[in-house]
Amino acid sequence: MELSLYDKLKTLVTEKQNPESHGIDDMPIEQVLHVINSQDKTVPVAVEKEIPYIAKAVEIVVNAIKNGGRLIYIGAGTSGRLGVLDASEIPPTFGADPELVQGIIAGGYAALTRAQEGAEDKKEVGGKDLMKLNFTNKDVACGLTASRITPYVVGAIEKAKEVGAKTIYITCTDREQLELDVDVAICPVVGPEVVMGSTRMKSGTAEKLVLNMLTTTAMIRLGKVYNNMMVDLLMTSKKLEERSKRTVVMVTGVDYDTAAGVLKEADGHVKTAIVMILKNVDPDEAQRRLKKADGFVKGALK
């Protein structure tokens, strides 16, 4: 017999009372802040324990992208917003196609600024929203749900499995409690929240840390970083334009004006400019070298 939602909630660590914050409503402001801060310090430790699983997820994402696939996040509430946020930051940070990493959230984009609480209960809509993106078995579906049981997310992951795609699931509950069949489960168990059930706090922080690790490492493995610098960024703002010039100056040792001139020749592409300067070649040759090296600057320089 399947448990009712009420009974399921009782089994979730994210829905339990935290003994460390008991009586927080009577505490002075600074004491409240110390309690929150001390609980937040436990989050990176929980994430660290999941690194072997995050590594497997990175391998899945990199392999999918190399073979023409995409990474699609699916979430509701805070988890959904975090997925959309991470996806939106990939193009300006790494110069990636906006289609490469996408996020869908229960209730649509209106839910980014105003909660659409009932939307997360519609399991069948999760699968439909995923398929609206022309999702195929080349893609990767990554479910985000602190509680693990959000119907919208579960429905999307089940649909992804149905079409034969790889699936990742990020949740802040015990791995042993996960009933969903996925390729990789990432389960940073952060324990009860400071305010019971407010998963925008420790759980949300854990999910954000995992997403940072997942996509940043994937982009590194796809050749979008040189040493520890972004070199595939797009010059879409004054700040990014100046950052591009500074990166070229730092890597090659040329002066500011030379960096600006070569970047102009390279159509603003930092990687191309770096190879042009260090190998004394034209833009076409620099891009040929980069293509041969799968986009890695170090490979293009050899």
Q: Catalytic positions, please?
A: 89, 120
The number of beta carbons lying within 10 Å of the beta carbon of residue 234 is: 17
CA 277, 283, 288, 293 dihedral sign is positive
The number of beta carbons lying within 10 Å of the beta carbon of residue 177 is: 15
The whole-angstrom separation of Cα 212 and Cα 70 is 17
Q: Which residues of 271-298 are buried (b: 16+ CB within 10 A; e: fewer)?
A: bbbbbbbbeebebeebbebbeebeebbe
Angle at 73 between CA 67 and CA 75, to 5 degrees: 160
